Structure 1
Amino acid sequence: MRFQYAFQKIVDLKNNERTQAEWVLSQAIGQLNSEKESLASLHSAKEEMQQELFAVTAGKTTISQLKLLQHYVDHIDQQIVLKNEHVEQAQKVVLTKQEHLTDKMVEEKVWNKAKEKAFRNFTEKLMKQEQQALDEMATNRFQRML
């Protein structure tokens, strides 16, 4: 006799949901990493522009040139502020996806535990039937000997 769990499709569904939640989380983490890399590149661009601005101020330059460079540094600052907001949003998404994954893992574990319990009950029942059959065979043998 073979064990067949009546709710196997639900166990499979919960497994698939957990797998999908893992994929979604990995995508969210990838997006967060992308945002962080973009923020780092903005910081390095700002640093380069500030160095160029300092270098230009050391020599002879026009006010319009200085204003242009300062305007570009201010623009990068605005981009950094926006990118920081994007990073925070991406971090919130990652946290949400982690919580979702945790929920799916708990659901899957509940159904797996139920399946394991059903399998244990099945095994116990099967062993009890086998023991009864062996006891009956032993009783029949003993009666034949008398």
Structure 2
Amino acid sequence: MSFQYKFQKILTLKEREKDESLHIYQESVKKFTAAAEHLYDLLKKKEDLEQFQSEELANGLSVDKIRHYQYFISNLEKSIEHAQGLVIHARNTMNWHEEKLKESNIEVKKYEKLKENSYQAYMEVLNRTENLNLDEFSQRQYFFRGGS
């Protein structure tokens, strides 16, 4: 007689769901990281361009070049705004998947705890049955020997 957990299929399913949640969460972290790095690169470009422009202004710069740099900075700012929206969306998605992963972990832990409790109850019944069998065996031996 071996231990059979009655919710094993559910536990297996919950573990699979947890693994899928973990994979999806890891993908969302990668997307967030990529979006954040892209935003950082854009901010760095803007900072470098503004610093370069201020150095060029100190040396003297034509109106056309000033206009060109301002147009480029304006486009960078639009790209930065868009990238900030993507980062916010990626962060929210990542946080949502993190919550789903936590919920999956909790579900798995519940079923694992139920399995552990069920196994302990099984072992108690098994030990009780074994003790009863030993008691019965001892009584039979006692009676067959004539009860000294």
Q: Common fold, TM-score beyond 0.5?
A: yes
Q: Does 1:62 align with 2:42?
A: no
Q: Structure 1 length normalisation: TM-score? A: 0.94
Q: Runs of 4 or more off by more than 3 Å in structure 1?
A: none
Work out the number of aligned pairs and report it: 146
* Alpha carbons 1:53, 1:70 under 8 Å: kept: no
Q: Does 1:80 align with 2:80?
A: yes
* Structure 2 match to 1:41: 41
Which range is displaced more, 108-117 or 123-132? 108-117
* Structure 1 match to 2:109: 109
Q: Does 1:7 align with 2:1?
A: no
| 1:29-55 deviation per Cα after TM superposition (whole angstroms, max 9, x unaligned) | 111111111111111100111122112
Q: Does 1:29 align with 2:29?
A: yes
| 1:96-131 deviation per Cα after TM superposition (whole angstroms, max 9, x unaligned) | 001111111111112112211221121111111110
Q: Identity of paired residues, percent?
A: 24
* Structure 1 match to 2:133: 133
Q: Structure 2 length normalisation: TM-score? A: 0.93
Q: Which runs of 5+ in 1 are unaligned?
A: none
Alignment of 1:93-108 (within 5 A): 93-108=93-108
Q: Which runs of 5+ in 2 are unaligned?
A: none
By how many angstroms is 1:81 displaced? 1.4
RMSD across aligned C-alpha pairs, in angstroms? Answer: 1.2
